[in-house]
Amino acid sequence: MNIVAVTACATGVAHTFMAKRALEDAAKKQGHQIKVETQGATGIENELTQSEIEQADIVILAVEVGIAKKERFEKVKKVEIPISTAIKNADGLLNKIKEKLQM
């Protein structure tokens, strides 16, 4: 799968980057490509382009707060989850998405 994701927590520090790392590790382990944008205390980092978003098989929004530029994701396949899900069970999340997309 080609995955793009956004992670954002209330304080925009620890959990944002823990979720990023968990998603990246799970994707790499399962052989998927992933790019993760973080939105936090330092603003938007590793910002996703519209082309990357449109070419993705799925967009994962692992967020606990409202995110900037959310309108970019209106017309694409996406799943919005609590950030804790990404941190605690990124492997299971990707497996579930893969099943639903039948990839």
Which residues belong to the active site? 9
How far is it, in rounded angstroms, from Cα 93 to Cα 95? Answer: 5
> What 8-state DSSP symbol labels residue 66?
-
* Chain centroid offset of residue 42 CA: 18
| Interacting residues of 59 by C-beta distance below 8 A, sequence separation 6+ | 3, 4, 5, 6, 53, 73, 76, 77, 78, 79
Q: In angstroms, how far is the first alpha carbon of the chain from the final one?
A: 7
